Structure 1
Amino acid sequence: PAGAVPVQRARRAAAPLANCEEWGGETGTAVRHLLFMSVIIPSLILPTIWNRLQHLKALKARRQQDRLPLRIGILGCMAERLKEEILHREKLVDIVAGPDAYRDLPRLLAVAESGQQAANVLLSLDETYADILPVQTSAGGTTAFVSIMRGCDNMCSYCIVPFTRGRERSRPIASILQEVKMLSDQGVKEVTLLGQNVNSFQDMSEVQFQSAAAPVLSRGFSTVYKAKPGGLRFAHLLDQVSRIDPEMRIRFTSPHPKDFPDEVLQLIQERHNICKQLHLPAQSGSTRVLEAMRRGYTREAYLELVHHVRDSIPGVSLSSDFIAGFCGETEEDHQQTVSLLREVRYNVGFLFAYSMRQKTRAYHRLQDDVPVDVKQRRLQELIAVFREEAARANEAMVGQSQLVLVEGPSKRSASELCGRNDGNIKVIFPDAEIKDAAGCKALVRAQPGDYVLVKVTSASSQTLKGVPLCRTTLACSTA
């Protein structure tokens, strides 16, 4: 699962470029501009990126000789973070544009065409690209991602996002609803609302809502910043989005555990098309490490939230993030994380070894003192425990019927279909003729975008397998 996250982020980050009115477009047969979109890059991957650019060096030289110059650009978080190094390293890159500078690309390209290097990595306090709807590139696609906000205010000590993406600013709700309606009209069956801290959404664009009270945090949680009062909150957005299409599933990621008021949990429980799946990034099971991370909660407060979520949303599927080997982490701290994995028993996990990043508070205030081999050993231990507990959680579904949104053929067998259940767990089942719950006598074969009721026959830590029972609808299956 971890490998898919940067790819999804990069694809979504590039969306504003595809439909920007200011974009000039290319003509002719030879590509003149080669632009690379980047997300936040762990330091261990940077050499691979530099090697990729080096492979273009000879091509750029040949194009210069042929009088068809090739301009290379780096966009996104890497551009903001490593501007000076990118521009000065062998003069290979012509254009550097940070995540808030995409509207400035026509000017940057014009400067580059004159033979000069061009850069804009200024972070904005209000840029959300709200007026630029993304082009739906995959015809017949069943799922889509909708960015609802940019930046982050949490300032966790390990995280570089506030320094590469800026402070939190939310899109106007009207533009989000317009985009979701457009996706529904195109036949999309599942939308994921995206934000670095998605559930702290706060639309301040409407004057009449600017006098509302400040947000209420989860019990036992705190912030390092003063919460702003006013605005339309995430619960209001989630309510409005879920009303657009009763046959469209709604997910959201990535939330912060501090921003789960009861009204959000109640809404998830009540609406049949809001998935009963929550991402609760813990990062560590040690209160001491959580304090060093500036997460704003203790182990006990986090566990209290987990119990409250499960009481409020019976059968909810939980996922989480964990960092192995953070600054100052001891073996005792590590074992507390192991025990948290066992106690909560997550269905999905994203686990990483700590990689220090420049500009962060940890870089300036803490020591990256856990050896690499220890980080890797601890990471492997966490992965092993997660898989063991996830397998047990998934095995509890054997014998149950799960509603699956079909995504397409299985990658391993053309005779099987693949989709995901409400808890975002992959489900594999035979591509066979099945009944249609609508009542038609003829048997049907499920297609991408169909909802199929599947009886689970076996489970692993990452996948469920089963037999298809019938094609149905989201509303009928939850009636």
Structure 2
Amino acid sequence: MTSCFEGTAFCIHTFGCQMNKHDSERVAGMLEGLGSLPVETIEEADIVVFMTCCVREAADTRLYGQVASMKNIPVRDGSPLLKRYIAVGGCIGQRDGEKLVEALPHLDVVFGTHNLASLPALLSDAVQRHGHSVEVIESADTFSSALPTAREHSWAAWLPITVGCNNFCSYCIVPYVRGREKSRPLEDIVEEAQRYVDAGVKEITLLGQNVNSYGRDLYGEPRFAEVLDAIDATGIERVRFATSHPKDLTDGVIERFGALRSLMPALHLPVQSGSNRILKAMNRRYTREHYLGLIEKLRAVVSDIALSTDIIVGFPGETEEDFMDTYRLVEEVGYSQVFTFIYSKREGTPAAKMEDDTPREVIQERFDRLVDLVQRKAYETNQAELGQVVPVLIEGTSKRDSTVLAGKSPKNQTVHGPVPTGRAAEQLVGTIVPMRIDEARTWYLSGTVVDG
């Protein structure tokens, strides 16, 4: 199978969540195993793979636009293949299947969320038959973690512990394209984590559509706290996880923030709305009061824990009063970061059938008000870091200035600072260095590496 791909080049465009990023690393590992090499741009590539997200309408528009535009990009000089091969995977691939090649006739391969492993065979089939190859299956018995990987960074690793989702929030397409929730055996998770530690990985991010419910399908009850204990015991320096559902965040998991050396003091806890009426319509299965109670418990364990969240503005039927419930919740919690979205109708979800006559300009005005508040609170939160010395995992240099280091604090804040005199940036990448914070902006901190 490898002969027709030796000497080729590939690039991967990834949209959406961390799970898609992990899947992209597996796709890269398989393509490198075929003898293909990674490149940065479509123009340089013989194989282009789009790993897609369909949570919001903008992702569909972006994919269709990018794939359509590729018709006019010539094959690179010296390509071993007669044409550039285009593959679409991820959630849009799972949802649309054959419909994609009907809409985009120059598309060569479509695969879904459950059959990453099929990509090499599908590409080979497309090359040999000079036609389309489409395969989408409803579920899989294995996890993509069994596939080869080409990680983006040697010092960081994604580690899926669950796939799929059983929550069926009324606005969300994920359960329909990722399937029902399935947990990996704990021993498999720990074995993979230990391999990463032995390879020098500094930070592991545990992944799942709802990590808090890990183990319910295997053991009859959630055991995510036990996962955190076991990962900490491997000796990993930093652990993060995403994403958490508030209804499943247990006291045991909250207590781990104060007990485990490796668990970073940062939590992404999507609230989506601060209105109980809207939360019920969203089928979120918690109340505003329950959510705020979780925040209180978290801050009792780690007083300065960095909190981030997702919020949807303009859910069908949202009134000004509902919006102000959300606004006041954001004001009260004081998030370090908020991912704000205007509601996007997804066909096939219950919310898509809900009527709403709220003018678009009203929704946009509410969104803008919320964004202004989010920025103000993020700025205020970051001021607490001034004068502090924080350990920063150096990820590289600033995109604007190669003499400025860029990394992440334990609270997942971006930190910039000049490369120390007499040191090379390349030597510091992937290491954790102490930095004194001299300046705190809305979305980043600036500091200086502390010697010794």
TM range (shorter): 0.7 to 0.9
Q: Within 5 Å, give how 1:83-122 maps onto structure 2.
A: 83-89=97-103, 91-109=105-123, 111-112=125-126, 113-122=128-137
Answer yes or no: is 1:402 the counterpart of 2:416: no
Aligned mates of 2:36, 2:179 — CA distance in 1: 31
Aligned mates of 2:83, 2:403 — CA distance in 1: 48
| Bigger mean CA offset, 106-115 vs 268-277 | 106-115
The alignment yields a C-alpha RMSD, in angstroms, of 3.1
- Counterpart residue number, 1:474: none
Amino acid corresponding to residue 449 of structure 1 in structure 2: G
- Counterpart residue number, 2:40: none
- How big is each residue's C-alpha offset from its partner over 1:285-328, in whole Å with a ceiling of 9 and x where there is no partner? 11111111111111111111111111122321111111111111
Q: Within 5 Å, give how 1:81-230 maps onto structure 2.
A: 81-89=95-103, 91-109=105-123, 111-112=125-126, 113-124=128-139, 126-138=141-153, 141-202=154-215, 210=219, 214-215=221-222
| Bigger mean CA offset, 195-204 vs 293-302 | 195-204
Whether the 8 Å contact between 1:125 and 1:169 is mirrored in structure 2 is: no
Q: Alignment partner for residue 345 of structure 1, among 317, 327, 334?
A: 334
Whether the 8 Å contact between 1:111 and 1:118 is mirrored in structure 2 is: yes
State the TM-score, normalized to the length of structure 2.
0.85
Q: Alignment partner for residue 244 of structure 1, among 201, 213, 234?
A: 234
Aligned mates of 2:433, 2:81 — CA distance in 1: 57
Amino acid corresponding to residue 319 of structure 1 in structure 2: S
- Counterpart residue number, 2:317: 328
Give the total of aligned pairs: 429
- How big is each residue's C-alpha offset from its partner over 1:6-55, in whole Å with a ceiling of 9 and x where there is no partner? 2754332223334459975569xx97654322123522343332232223
Q: Alignment partner for residue 20 of structure 2, among 10, 24, 28?
A: 10
Whether the 8 Å contact between 2:52 and 2:92 is mirrored in structure 1 is: yes
Aligned mates of 1:72, 1:396 — CA distance in 2: 48
**What is the SS of the residue equivalent to 2:311?**
strand
Q: Percent identity?
A: 35
Q: Within 5 Å, give how 1:265-280 maps onto structure 2.
A: 265-280=254-269
Amino acid corresponding to residue 466 of structure 1 in structure 2: G
Whether the 8 Å contact between 2:111 and 2:119 is mirrored in structure 1 is: yes
- Counterpart residue number, 1:219: none
Amino acid corresponding to residue 464 of structure 1 in structure 2: L
- Counterpart residue number, 2:5: none
- Counterpart residue number, 2:366: 378
Amino acid corresponding to residue 155 of structure 2 in structure 1: T
Seen in structure 2, the aligned counterparts of structure 1 residues 393 and 59 have a Cα distance that, compared at 3 Å, is closer
Whether the 8 Å contact between 1:289 and 1:326 is mirrored in structure 2 is: yes
**What is the SS of the residue equivalent to 1:244?**
coil
Answer yes or no: is 1:460 the counterpart of 2:441: yes
Seen in structure 2, the aligned counterparts of structure 1 residues 51 and 181 have a Cα distance that, compared at 3 Å, is same
Amino acid corresponding to residue 159 of structure 1 in structure 2: C
Amino acid corresponding to residue 459 of structure 1 in structure 2: A
Amino acid corresponding to residue 212 of structure 2 in structure 1: N
Seen in structure 2, the aligned counterparts of structure 1 residues 75 and 367 have a Cα distance that, compared at 3 Å, is same
- How big is each residue's C-alpha offset from its partner over 1:70-89, in whole Å with a ceiling of 9 and x where there is no partner? 54321111112222431212
Aligned mates of 1:343, 1:291 — CA distance in 2: 21
Amino acid corresponding to residue 467 of structure 1 in structure 2: T
Seen in structure 2, the aligned counterparts of structure 1 residues 460 and 280 have a Cα distance that, compared at 3 Å, is same
Shift of 1:123: 2.1
**What is the SS of the residue equivalent to 1:6?**
coil
Answer yes or no: is 1:357 the counterpart of 2:370: no
Amino acid corresponding to residue 16 of structure 1 in structure 2: R
Aligned mates of 1:393, 1:61 — CA distance in 2: 50
Amino acid corresponding to residue 362 of structure 1 in structure 2: A
Answer yes or no: is 1:418 the counterpart of 2:432: no
Seen in structure 2, the aligned counterparts of structure 1 residues 343 and 88 have a Cα distance that, compared at 3 Å, is same
Aligned mates of 1:72, 1:5 — CA distance in 2: 16
Amino acid corresponding to residue 408 of structure 2 in structure 1: R
Whether the 8 Å contact between 1:133 and 1:179 is mirrored in structure 2 is: no
**What is the SS of the residue equivalent to 2:451?**
strand
Runs of 5+ in structure 2 lacking a partner?
1-13, 38-43
Aligned mates of 2:389, 2:73 — CA distance in 1: 55
- Counterpart residue number, 2:428: 447
Aligned mates of 1:22, 1:469 — CA distance in 2: 40
Aligned mates of 1:119, 1:10 — CA distance in 2: 19
- Counterpart residue number, 1:49: 63
Seen in structure 2, the aligned counterparts of structure 1 residues 90 and 404 have a Cα distance that, compared at 3 Å, is closer
Whether the 8 Å contact between 1:32 and 1:68 is mirrored in structure 2 is: no
Aligned mates of 2:264, 2:274 — CA distance in 1: 26
Amino acid corresponding to residue 353 of structure 1 in structure 2: I
State the TM-score, normalized to the length of structure 1.
0.81
Aligned mates of 2:180, 2:204 — CA distance in 1: 25
Aligned mates of 1:155, 1:388 — CA distance in 2: 33
Q: Alignment partner for residue 387 of structure 1, among 367, 371, 375?
A: 375
| Bigger mean CA offset, 42-51 vs 280-289 | 42-51
Q: Alignment partner for residue 276 of structure 2, among 287, 296, 319?
A: 287
Whether the 8 Å contact between 1:41 and 1:78 is mirrored in structure 2 is: no
Whether the 8 Å contact between 1:23 and 1:105 is mirrored in structure 2 is: no
Shift of 1:372: 3.0
- Counterpart residue number, 2:6: none
Shift of 1:419: 1.8
Seen in structure 2, the aligned counterparts of structure 1 residues 259 and 70 have a Cα distance that, compared at 3 Å, is same
Aligned mates of 2:121, 2:394 — CA distance in 1: 43
Seen in structure 2, the aligned counterparts of structure 1 residues 339 and 432 have a Cα distance that, compared at 3 Å, is same
